[in-house]
């Protein structure tokens, strides 16, 4: 068994087309839930869903979120209604008291559905309604995700990092805001002062995650701050990584990032925005996969390949390099 850690797109892209290298049933994916929001009463789990939809062959591979060819009728109607009512559009974060008085798992990331600020497709929304309904019936997020795996014919175990709430809050020059407000609404433009993983001190990885972390671990080319940060903010999670072989794929080529706000968030949290900064953020990593054009000297074992991802051929090539790096990290991969 080998366990993969996933944020948004890095790990799903890495595993896309790599079933020959890492058999799905033997390679669980632990997903970040710091990005999750409750929107209009529905729990939306973007990183869990990108993995679910990718593995279930439903994913919109243009955006790497949502379902391919989905319609957006409900989303459009929400905007038409808000406009007709003269209501302000944009994220509508619920009042402070509402942030802790509703569903436990949705703490500190509860937004009104008026003029829905994130686009939810109609089929995508059916997943959120089912997930939220099952949570309200008393199931945990882990149990619900297993049910969704079955429903979407996903063979790879998909594990939310925790059944406790952890909310990624970005502190900016414009004030604190949830990561989705920073990313989707502000397009990561505001200056970042710090990043907080609210709830992490009282949150823990699930038993299923702790079991999965007994195996060698692969960190895909994810954002070390908002994708991995919520996991690493839980003591038991970090400790588990310290006692198992870990391979990380850098999301940078030296100081050039492939996509997303990783560079800006790293600088704001005291890391260099580069492969060297990633290595500093992952002191527990035993080996790295770097791009062939990345000459960073890490003083830890490195395997180099073309790390650009986007096609199944890319995923397969980088997964072969990950396999080599696992051996250098001392992993016994059965
Ligand atoms: N990203 C956007 O840029 N705009 C959106 O409207 C948007 C909606 C959305 C809905 C469901 C979902 O699962 C993901 C969605 N994303 C959207 C992606 C998401 O914001 C991020 O890319 C991830 O959270 C980063 O990992």
Residue 51 clears pLDDT 70, i.e. is over it: yes
pLDDT, position 8: 85
- Find, among 206, 202, 251, the residue nearest to 8 by Cα: 251
Q: Which atom of ligand 1 is nearest to the CA of 124?
A: 11
How distant, in Å, are the alpha carbons of 6, 48, 97, 152 from that of 145?
A: 15, 8, 28, 10
CA distance 314 to 334: 23
Residue 261 clears pLDDT 90, i.e. is over it: no
3-6 and 175-178: which strand pairing? unpaired
Which of 76, 120, 121, 184 has most ligand 1 atoms within 8 Å of its beta carbon, as the pocket-test mutant? 184
CA distance 137 to 141: 11
CA distance 98 to 92: 12
Task: Report CA(184)–ligand 1 centroid distance (Å).
Answer: 7
Q: Is there a contact between 219 and 282 (Cβ–Cβ < 8 Å)? A: yes
Overall pTM surpassing 0.95 (yes/no): yes
Q: Which atom of ligand 1 is nearest to the CA of 7?
A: 26
Q: Which atom of ligand 1 is nearest to the CA of 179?
A: 24
How distant, in Å, are the alpha carbons of 35, 63, 84, 112, 185 from that of 117?
A: 14, 17, 16, 9, 7
CA distance 218 to 27: 10
Q: Which atom of ligand 1 is nearest to the CA of 227?
A: 26
Per-residue model confidence as pLDDT tens digits over 149-198: 999 999 999 999 999 999 999 999 999 999 999 999 999 999 999 999 99
Residue 257 clears pLDDT 70, i.e. is over it: yes
Q: Over range 247-261, report the average pLDDT.
A: 92
Polymer length in residues for the chain: 334
CA distance 223 to 273: 10
Q: Is there a contact between 51 and 161 (Cβ–Cβ < 8 Å)? A: no
pLDDT > 90 fraction of the chain, expressed in percent and rounded: 96
Residue 61 clears pLDDT 70, i.e. is over it: yes
Residue list, ligand 1 pocket, CB within 6 Å: 7-8, 35, 44, 46-47, 49, 65-66, 118-120, 124, 180, 183-184
Q: Which domains does the chain have, with CATH numbers?
A: 3-328 (3.40.50.10680)
Per-residue model confidence as pLDDT tens digits over 97-137: 999 999 999 999 999 999 999 999 999 999 999 999 999 99
pLDDT, position 334: 59
């Amino acid at each position: 068994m080998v366990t993969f850690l996933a944020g948004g797109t890095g790990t799903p892209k890495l595993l896309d087309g790599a079933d020959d290298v890492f058999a799905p049933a033997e390679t669980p994916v632990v997903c970040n839930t710091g990005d999750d929001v409750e929107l209009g009463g529905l729990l939306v789990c973007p990183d869990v869903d990108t993995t679910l939809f990718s593995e279930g062959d439903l994913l919109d591979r243009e955006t790497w979120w949502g379902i391919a060819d989905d319609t957006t009728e409900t989303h459009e109607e929400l905007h038409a209604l808000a406009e007709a009512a003269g209501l302000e559009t944009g994220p509508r974060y619920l009042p402070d008291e509402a942030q802790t008085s509703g569903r436990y798992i949705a703490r500190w990331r509860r937004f009104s559905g008026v003029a829905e600020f994130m686009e939810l497709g109609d089929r995508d929304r059916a997943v959120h309604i089912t997930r939220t309904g099952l949570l309200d019936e008393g199931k945990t997020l882990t149990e619900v995700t297993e049910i969704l795996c079955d429903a979407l014919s996903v063979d790879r175990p998909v594990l939310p990092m925790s059944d406790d709430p952890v909310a990624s809050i970005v502190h900016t020059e414009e004030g604190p805001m949830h990561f989705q407000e920073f990313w989707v609404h502000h397009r990561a433009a505001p200056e970042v002062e710090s990043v907080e993983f609210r709830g992490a001190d009282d949150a823990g990885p699930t038993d299923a995650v702790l079991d999965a972390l007994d195996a060698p671990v692969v960190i895909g080319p994810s954002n070390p701050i908002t994708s991995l940060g919520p996991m690493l903010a839980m003591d038991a999670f970090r400790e588990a990584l310290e006692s198992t072989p870990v391979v990380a794929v850098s999301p940078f080529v030296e100081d050039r990032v492939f996509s997303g706000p990783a560079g800006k968030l790293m600088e704001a949290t005291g890391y260099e925005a580069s492969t060297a900064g990633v290595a500093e953020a992952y002191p527990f990593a035993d080996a790295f996969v770097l791009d062939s054009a990345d000459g960073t000297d890490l003083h830890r074992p490195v395997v180099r390949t073309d790390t650009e991802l986007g096609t199944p051929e890319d995923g397969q090539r980088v997964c072969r390099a990950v396999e080599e790096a696992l051996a250098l990290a001392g992993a016994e991969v059965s």
